[in-house]
Amino acid sequence: MAKALTNTEFKFEKQKSVYHGKVRDVYDIDDDKLVMVATDRISAFDVVLPKGIPFKGQVLNQIAATFLDATADIVPNWKLATPDPMVTVGLKCEGFKVEMIIRGYLTGSAWREYKNGCRSLCGVALPDGMHENEKFPSPIITPTTKADAGHDENISKEEIIAQGIVSKEDYELMEKYTYALFERGSKMAAEKGLILVDTKYEFGKRDGKIYLIDEIHTPDSSRYFYAEGYQEKFEAGEPQKQLSKEFVRQWLIENGFMGQEGQQVPEMTDEYVNSVSERYIELYEHIVGQPFVKADTENLYERIEKNLTAYLA
């Protein structure tokens, strides 16, 4: 079985700090660059699961790098290089405390609220008579505040500006970028027989200029449907065939785990871990449209350390 990278404690020259997120470890180099290591950790329901998924970090890092390169003409982004299949090095930006979530279809949490009678989401009015997985007349932006701890909270554009979280000028530019990125992502997905359903973008500022930061259009930050069969399934009221990590959440739910107190994470057998790894590779090949080339995992930690040290030097 291939090895998985679940934790890192690198010590680079000029390293100021390290932040261990749910799935990524971010190293601050001299307050100027960030080294983002996409580990093989996997999280669901705000819980990091006990076993890593081989190649997951490589899959997510390479999908994000592909889309950052493919959208650099729309908005400047933080990426400088990918010195290792699991690592992106980029410019350090001051992140906005807002995530720009854009939805092309009524699904997920938006559908759950709609079904309960809600007709306004983050200040956006929703038409009556819509059905689950139905396409919106045009995409809607439903931002959330980026919480340092706990869950992100829905918020409207008006509240963001009124509370001074982001200036009107900056917000409107992020909004413009969000629509343009989603349009490009949707077009690229359509070429692969996919529908980009919803996704999120994060932005930051450096030297007075707005940059796109973090990952984009990965199955961890986006939801995709298969275009083939979408209409038939929609008309029949059947669930859509999805390309996202929803399958992991479903497995956990079926095994009695939703991240609530007293619940136990079900046993992750080697067989199950391998099946999730294969699923991530399948996601990569569908989204990017190219065969996935597995990097050597024999000396994973040493490989990353060597590649990064050489790049930073």
Tens digit of each residue's pLDDT (9 = 90 or more) over 82-139: 999 999 999 999 999 999 999 999 998 899 999 999 999 999 999 999 999 999 999 9
The CA–CA distances, whole Å, from 37 to 7, 89, 145, 204, 214 equal 10, 9, 24, 19, 11
For residue 52, tell me if it sits in a domain.
no
Structural domains counted in the chain:
1
Residue-number span of the structural domain to which 175 is assigned:
95-243
State how far the Cα of 241 lies from the Cα of 225, in Å rounded to an integer: 6
Residue 133 counted as domain residue: yes
> Is 33:90 a contact under the CB 8 Å cutoff?
yes
Q: Is residue 189 in a domain? A: yes
The CA radius of gyration of the chain, in Å to the nearest whole number, is 20
Whether 123 maps to a domain, the answer reads yes
Q: How far apart are CA 42 and CA 228, in angstroms?
A: 29
Question: Over 90: is that where the pLDDT of 149 sits?
Answer: no
Residue 27 domain flag: no
Specify the pLDDT at position 244: 82
Tokens representing 40 are: 């093989």
Give a yes or no: residue 110 inside a domain: yes
Query: 22 in a domain, yes or no?
Result: no
Tell me whether strands 79-84 and 120-121 are parallel, antiparallel or unpaired: unpaired
Q: pLDDT for 205-253, tens place per residue?
A: 999 999 999 999 998 899 999 999 999 999 999 999 888 888 898 899 9
Signed CA dihedral, 61, 64, 67, 71: sign only: negative
Reported confidence tier of residue 150, pLDDT bands at 50, 70, 90: low
> Residue 201 and residue 99: Cα distance in Å, rounded?
6
Query: pLDDT digit string (tens) for 250-297?
Result: 899 999 999 999 999 999 999 999 999 999 999 999 999 999 999 999
Does any domain span residue 127?
yes
We report the CATH number of the domain holding residue 187 as 3.30.470.20
Taking residues 161-178, report their average pLDDT.
Answer: 97
Each residue of 33-78: pLDDT tens digit? 999 999 999 999 889 999 999 999 999 999 999 999 999 999 999 9
